[in-house]
Amino acid sequence: MKINDSVQYRNFYSMGTRIDIILPGIDDHIAESVCLQIKSELDRIEEKISHYKESSVVSYLNQKAHTEPIKTDPEIFLLINQLIGLSARTSGYFDFGLGFLSENMKHASETYHVVHDTMTTLSEIGARNIVLDHDENSVLFKSDKLKIDSGGFGKGYGLDTVKKILKALKIESAFISFGESSILALGDHPYGKSWKTGIQDIFSETSSLFVFTLANEALSVSGVNPKNKQKYGVGHIINPHKGIAIDCFRQSAVAGNNGLIAEVVSTAILCAPDESRHLIMEQFPEYRAIVIDYDQTNKPTITYTCNLNDGENY
């Protein structure tokens, strides 16, 4: 559909979420073709990386990689290699190898902790227990408890894929939203030089707590909200250092050039203690970040900021 004579809007579902696309300055038939290409590619990625799909490459690794090295295609191998590096750069506060704990959390109560309440499980899982053979493009898990969880990186990887498609098609201006938590903003807004994107109060759909100004950038928002608590009894994001779910209401948002990195870093600073956040952000000096905490009365407070632009405000 058209928002006006010069702006096209489309939406569809892929990668487990709703995708909203705004394309200024192109014809209707071109917008339709662009969106079809994007959906096709996102569906292809989902078939590879979704740990919910039994036929995916990631699910096969989760089932078999602890028994022997599993040779993978170059795309998945390079992605896993990149994720291992990003886990190290975030001091382990982002870890995509905690699927075993995530699965257990779905059946847990508010007192969810590491299985058997020991640190044994943590020592057996996580990115540090993934072994890569760069000559063979193979992946080996050191433990049968190690499971890849694509929930912490899938949308970011999807955003970067969409960006490549738009660049190849010479689409200079676009706004893409993956479930309102992962954003790609290219080129100019139809009525300005940047895309202003608000971070919403999780207790008020009409209240914006902070506004990022995005120009050829991605934005990732991570957090624990009332829906997560209602579904699991606790938050859905696990602190990799403690093996327990984040149990307070908190949001983090990170903006920068790369969608995957933005998603990884937003998860890391959500989990990290206050004193560790700057150490993480020092590894990503071109990225901007905020953290919002909610008190017992659900009042929000921005408790951490880093590298914000002058045009970005509370």
pLDDT tens track for 191-213: 888 899 999 999 998 899 999 99
pLDDT digits (tens, 9 = 90+) for 145-180: 999 999 999 999 999 999 999 999 999 999 999 999
Half-sphere exposure of 126 (CA within 13 A, CB side): 22
Q: E strands, 67-173, where?
A: 70-71, 130-133, 138-141
pLDDT of amino acid 100: 87
108 token code pair: 């847990």
pLDDT of amino acid 2: 47
In this predicted model, which residue has the larger pLDDT, 243 or 303? 303
| Surface-to-core class of residue 139, CB atoms within 10 Å of its CB (0-12 exposed, 13-18 middle, 19+ buried) | buried
The structure's pTM equals 0.93
pLDDT digits (tens, 9 = 90+) for 254-267: 999 999 999 999 99
pLDDT band at 19 (very low <50, low <70, confident <90, very high): very high
Taking the C-alpha atoms of residue 231 and residue 270, their distance in angstroms, rounded to an integer, is 20
pLDDT digits (tens, 9 = 90+) for 235-248: 689 999 988 888 89
Q: Which helix (H) or strand (E) holds 187?
A: none
- Percent of residues, the chain, with pLDDT higher than 70: 91
pLDDT of amino acid 118: 41
Domain boundaries, the chain: 61-151
Alpha-carbon separation of residue 210 from 9, 64, 93, 213, 221 (angstroms): 25, 44, 24, 10, 12
Q: Mean pLDDT throughout 289-307?
A: 97
pLDDT of amino acid 116: 45
Which CATH superfamily does the domain covering 61-151 fall into? Answer: ApbE-like superfamily (1.10.3980.10)
Amino acid at 82: Q
Q: Mean pLDDT throughout 211-216?
A: 95
Q: Mean pLDDT throughout 266-276?
A: 96
Taking the C-alpha atoms of residue 292 and residue 303, their distance in angstroms, rounded to an integer, is 6
pLDDT of amino acid 33: 96
In this predicted model, which residue has the larger pLDDT, 118 or 1? 1
251 token code pair: 């949001």
- Reply yes or no on whether the pLDDT at 31 is more than 80: yes
Q: What is the DSSP letter of 55?
A: T
- Rounded to the nearest 10°, the torsion over CA 81, 13, 193, 200 is -90
